[in-house]
Amino acid sequence: MGKWSWVALVLAALPAKASACSIPHPGCSKPVAPKAGKPLPLNAAAIALPLSATEVVWTDAAGLAVPVVTTLEKPRAVLVKPQGPLAPGVHTVTYKGCNAQPNMIKVSVGPVAPLPKQSGTLTGVAGAGPLTVPASGACQATATAAYAKLKLQLDPAVLPWLPVVLAQVTVDGKPWHDGVYGDVDADGTLHLWVGVLERDPLVVYTLCPTNTANADPGVAPGLHTIAVTLHLAGETSDLASATTQVTLTCPVSNGTVDAAGGADAAPAPAPAGDATAGAPGKPLPKPSEPGCGTARTSHLPVSALLFAMAGLLLWRRRA
């Protein structure tokens, strides 16, 4: 076997190249609200454009310019606020986005809608078992968890405003999910923006012992107060929150409860809110930071290394 054959053998045994998770650019890809085909109430205070939006021009159905003021609302959006009453019809909004690329959206302005006051009602059903959660290094992992699956029932007055509504979820007053405008459906579903890097907005969990390394541990076991708070683009205050309480308890094993700190549990995590606990509000690696990929973590097998070294020694003796 020639020298280059041995080199090729060694290279073939190396792990495959890592492939990173697909992560949208925060300034370019956050949703536009309202989305196409979603009517905007005539008395709406603002619409939302991506963070990169500049040179915004708004014209009404008659082609007349609508004066606007733009406000940067980090980390969500550029808010575009009309400076006068809107006329019904299909309006056109143009702006420059990432790399100064021109963009245009059509906004269907509909009838006036009363401003809602309440977000709705929130209920939770507790459970335990395998759960897919965010994880650094692999983006997602399946781990054993105690969890509460939440159901948001929207106040009927919210429905006309869904095109410009965002939802925030907190656990014991700490952030669990920070949404984007237009991410709420009529059935109460809350959508993810970053996808695999985000916790499910309506599934609050705590990891149980023997969990997956690098998985986001969620919250501490025990009783928690969960709140979903809705906000309308451009308004100065939030709607009244929908709240519920849930108790997260890991499954029983060998007659004891496998909650963190239990008799046969792994070492207890730090209290919720501690920087080492993965409590609500502790971020996972940012999209620009290393650590989130779908790389294979297996190393070069020892047998392959020995085989390659023996071949190289044999080749050198014959040379």
Confidence of residue 214 (pLDDT cuts 50, 70, 90): confident
β-strand partners of 239: none
- Between these two residues, 3 and 23, which has the higher pLDDT value? 23
Q: Which tokens is 136 given?
A: 């650094």
Domain at 47-109: CATH code: 2.60.40.10
Domain ranges for the chain: 47-109, 116-319
Q: Which 3 state secondary structure label does DSSP give 49?
A: strand
Q: Which tokens is 294 given?
A: 């779908």
Q: Which tokens is 225 given?
A: 């107060």
Q: Return d(Cα 118, Cα 156) in angstroms, integer.
A: 9
β-strand partners of 171: 174, 226
Instruction: Give 229: exposed, middle or buried? Use CB within 10 Å, 0-12, 13-18, 19+.
Output: middle
pLDDT at 297: 36
Interval 64-115: pLDDT, tens: 999 999 999 988 899 999 999 999 999 999 999 988 899 999 999 999 999 9
**Whole-model pTM above 0.75?**
no
248 near 129, Cβ under 8 Å?
no
